[in-house]
Amino acid sequence: MGNTALLEKDFHNLLKEQNAYREAIMLTVWDMRTKIPKKGVEQRSWVVGFLSEKLHQLETSERMKHFIDMLKDSVDDEVMKKTVEECEETYERNRKIPAEEYKEYVMLQSKSESIWQEAREKADFSLFQPYLEDLVEYNKKFANYWGYDENIYDALLHEYEPGVTTKMLDKVFPELRNSLTTLVEKINQSKTKPDPAILSGHFPKKNQEAFSVEILKRMGYDFASGRLDETIHPFAIGINMNDVRVTTRYDEEDFRMAVFGTIHEGGHALYEQNISQKLRSTPLATGTSMGIHESQSLFWENFIGRNKSFWESHYDLFKSYAPNHFGHVSLDNFYQAVNEVKASFIRIEADELTYPLHIMVRYELEKALINGDIHVSDLPHLWNEKMVDYLGIEPPSDREGVLQDIHWAGGDFGYFPSYALGYMYAAQFQHTMENELNLNECIATGNFDQIRQWLTANIHQYGKMKKPLEIIKDVTNEQLNPDYLVSYLSKKYTDIYNL
Amino acid sequence: MGNTALLEKDFHNLLKEQNAYREAIMLTVWDMRTKIPKKGVEQRSWVVGFLSEKLHQLETSERMKHFIDMLKDSVDDEVMKKTVEECEETYERNRKIPAEEYKEYVMLQSKSESIWQEAREKADFSLFQPYLEDLVEYNKKFANYWGYDENIYDALLHEYEPGVTTKMLDKVFPELRNSLTTLVEKINQSKTKPDPAILSGHFPKKNQEAFSVEILKRMGYDFASGRLDETIHPFAIGINMNDVRVTTRYDEEDFRMAVFGTIHEGGHALYEQNISQKLRSTPLATGTSMGIHESQSLFWENFIGRNKSFWESHYDLFKSYAPNHFGHVSLDNFYQAVNEVKASFIRIEADELTYPLHIMVRYELEKALINGDIHVSDLPHLWNEKMVDYLGIEPPSDREGVLQDIHWAGGDFGYFPSYALGYMYAAQFQHTMENELNLNECIATGNFDQIRQWLTANIHQYGKMKKPLEIIKDVTNEQLNPDYLVSYLSKKYTDIYNL
């Protein structure tokens, strides 16, 4: 072996070590959210912390720095090149934060999450406020360590959606917001009212689970490389490339939770299951960003799962799992009911049309916080104001308002935009896909293989080989463009509500 | 803090790191045996290997050596003292094996296990023979590195049952073997024949699971610190002190697998759940030996679960989970049927009377192998001979003979005696317990709390604070003594078979 070959081999060993820690962490996280007995949690939390520290040490080690320096300009192989770049980015980003501050921050995160839980239960923002103030200060400090060109908030956005800037968001988000609020107003004035009462009934967990498994299989989710479990807050997780698990939640009084939740998480899982094996044991073997990930889950959940053609082909199947229901409910009425638009306080319970408005509230507030334009103490008040402005409803307490999401309690600022970005990406992908294959016929005939293969060929396989905006450009031949989402929603809801 | 206090604190940090690796390994092992999707296994095996190597590195590190040297003679606290001793023993034992040889051995183990699987499937010992020869050679070499007083096999026994010697086994095992073969002969001549056909039927998995949960609860197994899952080869596992999981197997055509299997694993789990919290984050917080562990599982499985009084108090409960069965089966007939004695080829399917004879076959052969008295190539032939001698049956192929157990394929020589030792220990414990509490009444009334509390007070709480023979002596005021097991089995089967 030549010198470079030897070096690459050693570098690969380091990557494999990192992956081993990552895999152990992921498995532990999955277990803690699905299986762990109550009393085991405390000690296990410590273990996750320990393993994360070990991973962090490797990512920022002198050994890593050595490989980066030696390989950066000498490797030819494309995968190796991107791998070194990815490692360098992680190295630089983490090294910029003084070890002591990082440690304090990790402890603050953990403490804040438990205080936030208490505050939410008691609907008492004042308990959480001092912790949130500290979290904001740390994030501002980190953003300055990391650096940015125009807006301090960009430095945080970068963590979740590299390449996307505040400037870009401030161009597309208001357009999206205005279009949606106008649409919501029209819907509110419409005389057509879907009747969600026809969806009510008792749906045994067992049947919901069997239907969930069936749908996942039809989507092309590989159960030999994954499994489905029950949890409280559904998620999908890649433990290794061939072990990508889905979780869902069964509400026996409302099937929508499990059906649309499973399809959503299934969309995330398909992404992770179909990354090219060429990226194995590199840090590139995962979804490229939060936004692109969300584009996959939302594509399946909304553009397929809430599509009329989907229910044309799957209503009978669904009814076979709910044998005592829907006998007299027409497909049209069913379809309209599962697409009812109704302003709600809680983001994760929102319909697909008002959902982005929830994101706007959060984006505008966190951007202002990080820029020092507002204070943490202003949040409850401003939150409620924006809810009234965009959705026309005011949360009865902070539990249904500013305290509902865990993100800020975990120090995750810059994350929320990914949800709306992902939604816009999904609409752009859908538009392109429609030009390349008969999407509606695929959905109407349940031929999901073609759809999944398209997604794999255009998105999944690349993992982190391409940055999010590179994927958008390569696939759609356009920049980020909110028009497709607006047009999709306008068309769909004009039809449903006879606007 | 004084110097010693500081040192102890640093030492504790090292122990916590070791525990973190151990916990991650245990969780991974549990997952691999219960939940993992097929294609995820290959990569996960590598992760377990990696984490095990990390743990091994800490156990044999200079840092560990430093703490041992500094603390060995200076600590007063009993737990700390035993902890240092335990660490020293692990350190010395592992350091005696050259790193290169250990690495080769680990690879050989892993390779051998997969070859063994193939050999077993094909019933072809010749495939496995060269690997087994290597494994024997490595074990002899390691035994010489570790050292021994009288018999090279002692050095291997020490790993599983410290303090127990070949000499001790050669005193008690033949006595046990002769008593049991005599008993089996009498039973074979008896005209009384339990009728296992009355046990047949279809038992839905769901009902078996519900009964298993109910029995575990009655035993005092804490579900807030554990859970029950399905697997192929049942086991119990302590992931951390407050997360001790049980697994079982459901055969819908034979309820005995799950009922007695769950009680057995529940016995293991109670041991791990009831270790004193004082031992937390030390390597003492686990069962002290394979034999003592097996004494707990066998005590619950046989001395309680297969006891007549148990079925007097639980037959109605059991029938409520098998509503279409046993309507006309008397308690006596049921009790006799679940205690049928019948020579079988497979150890893990053996009844409680012939079970120790399976162990004798293995003990005698592995002792002779390690002592160089026989060759690996002699094994199939000698195995079958001994089966005829002790059990009166000859395996139709090596699949049902010498190839049935995984132990030797994993390099575990010296492990098998623990099963028979544990059985003898259990009988000794039972005898003592009968003197101290009304055991039969406890069983007959389902008052398991008293039994569990006795076991915790005398055995569980100590974890590794006491060596196995120390526990036997402290609890029973005797040395290892096979008479109690022989007397228990004689009495029970004389009654069942009208001998």
Q: Which two tokens stand for residue A107?
A: 């402890």
User: Given B24, B38, B46, which is nearest A47 (Cβ)?
Assistant: B24
Q: Is the pLDDT of residue A415 over 70?
A: yes
| pLDDT surpasses 70 at A140 | yes
**How far is the C-alpha of B98 from the C-alpha of B109, rounded, in Å?**
16
Bind-site residues of B for Zn(2+):
264, 268, 294
What's the rounded Cα separation, in Å, for the pair A65 and A276?
A: 27
CA angle B279/B281/B282 to nearest 5° reads 60
Is residue B90 predicted with pLDDT exceeding 70?
Answer: yes
Query: Residue B473 above 80 pLDDT?
Result: yes
Split at pLDDT 50, 70, 90, the class of B476 is very high
CB contact under 8 Å between B224 and A38, yes or no, is yes
Q: Which two tokens stand for residue B433?
A: 């317990």
What is the per-residue pLDDT for A295?
A: 98
Report the C-alpha gap between A326 and A316 in whole angstroms.
Answer: 10
Give A4 or A273, the one with higher predicted confidence. Answer: A273
C-alpha triplet B69, B72, B73: angle, nearest 5°: 115
Q: What pLDDT is attached to residue B274?
A: 98
DSSP E strands, B134-242: 228-230, 236-240
> From the candidates A265, A301, A352, A364, which is the catalytic residue?
A265
> Using a CB-CB distance cutoff of 8 angstroms, which residues of chain A are in contact with residue B28?
24, 27
CB contact (8 A) between residue A222 and residue B39:
yes
- Work out the number of other CB atoms within 10 angstroms of the CB of residue A27: 26
User: Which pLDDT score, from 0 to 100, does residue A324 have?
Assistant: 87
CA distance, residue A468 to nearest chain B CA (Å): 28
Write out pLDDT tens, residues B143-162: 999 999 999 999 999 999 99
- Shortest alpha-carbon distance between residue B206 and chain A (Å): 12
Q: 69-88 in A: which are within 8 Å (CB) of B?
A: none
Q: Do A242 and B39 touch (CB under 8 A)?
A: yes
Smallest Cα distance from A6 to chain B, Å:
21
Segment A457-486 mean pLDDT: 98
Q: Which residue has the tokens 């915790």?
A: B456
Q: How far is B98 from chain A (nearest CA, A)?
A: 23
**Residues pairing with A243 in the sheet:** A240
pLDDT band at B4 (very low <50, low <70, confident <90, very high): confident
When CB atoms are compared, the residue of A31, A43, A227 closest to B37 is: A227
Please write the tens of the pLDDT for every residue from A266-277.
Answer: 999 999 999 999
What whole-number distance in Å separates Cα of residue B324 and Cα of residue B201? Answer: 9
Looking at the complex, does the CB of residue B33 fall below 8 Å from at least one CB of chain A? no
Mean pLDDT score, B380-386: 98
> Which of B50, B224, B225 is facing A20, going by the closest CB pair?
B50
CB of A324 closer than 8 Å to CB of A185: no
Cβ-Cβ contacts under 8 Å, A44 against chain B: 23, 239-240, 243
Cβ within 8 Å, pair A27-B31: yes
To the question of whether residue A230 is assigned a binding role by annotation, the answer is no
At residue B150, the pLDDT reads 97
The whole-number pLDDT of residue B1 equals 56
Give the best residue of A50, A53, A229, A245 to mutate against chain B (max B CB count within 10 A).
A50
- Interface touch A31/B31, C-beta < 8 Å: yes
Pairwise CB contact (< 8 Å): A242 & B50: no
pLDDT digits (tens, 9 = 90+) for B318-361: 999 999 899 899 999 999 999 999 999 999 999 999 999 999 99
% of chain A with per-residue pLDDT over 70: 100
Q: Is A404 on the interface with B (CB under 8 A)?
A: no
Beta bridge partners, B244, equal B238
Q: What are the beta bridge partners of residue B238?
A: B244
Q: Which residues of chain B neighbour A43 with C-beta distances below 8 Å?
A: 23, 240-243
Q: Quote the minimal CA–CA distance from A182 to chain B in Å.
A: 47
Tokens of B135: 């494994």
Residue B103, pLDDT score: 87
Nearest neighbour of B224 by CB, restricted to A31, A37, A50 = A37
From chain A, pick out residues whose CB is under 8 angstroms from the CB of B223: 37
Q: What is the pLDDT of residues A337-380, one digit of tens each?
A: 999 999 999 999 999 999 999 999 999 999 999 999 999 999 99
In the predicted model, what is the mean pLDDT of residues A85-112? 93
Q: Do A50 and B223 touch (CB under 8 A)?
A: no
Res. B283: pLDDT tops 60: yes
Averaged pLDDT, A393-419? 97
Tell me what pLDDT residue B5 has: 84
Q: Residue A19 in contact with residue A13, Cβ under 8 Å?
A: no
Residue A1 reports pLDDT greater than 60: no
Q: How confident is the model at residue A58 (pLDDT cuts 50, 70, 90)?
A: very high
Out of A341-355, A421-435, B103-117, B355-369, least confident range: B103-117
From B22, which residue of chain A is nearest by alpha-carbon distance? A47
Average of per-residue pLDDT values in chain A: 96
As beta bridge partners, residue B240 has B243
Confidence of residue A4 (pLDDT cuts 50, 70, 90): confident
Residues of A in contact with B39 (CB under 8 A): 222, 224-225, 242-243
HEC string of chain A equals CCHHHHHHHHHHHHHHHHHHHHHHHHHHHHHHHHCCCHHHHHHHHHHHHHHHHHHHHHHCCHHHHHHHHHHCCCCCCHHHHHHHHHHHHHHHHHHCCCHHHHHHHHHHHHHHHHHHHHHHHHCCHHHHHHHHHHHHHHHHHHHHHHCCCCCHHHHHHHHHCCCCCHHHHHHHHHHHHHHHHHHHHHHHHCCCCCCHHHHCCCCCHHHHHHHHHHHHHHHCCCHHHCCEEECCCCCEEEEECCEEEEEECCECCECHHHHHHHHHHHHHHHHHHCCCHHHCCCCCCCCCCHHHHHHHHHHHHHHHCCCHHHHHHHHHHHHHCCCCCCCCCCHHHHHHHHCCCCCCCCHHHCCCCCHHHHHHHHHHHHHHHHCCCCCHHHHHHHHHHHHHHHHCCCCCCHHHCCCCCCCHHHCCCCCCHHHHHHHHHHHHHHHHHHHHCCHHHHHHCCCHHHHHHHHHHHCHHHHHHCCHHHHHHHHHCCCCCCHHHHHHHHHHHHHHHCC
Task: Pick B37's closest partner by Cβ from A17, A50, A243.
Answer: A243
Residue in chain B lying closest to A35 (CA): B227
- Give the residue carrying structure tokens 């525990």: B19
Task: Characterise A397 by phi-psi region: left (phi > 0), alpha (psi -120 to 50), beta (else).
Answer: beta
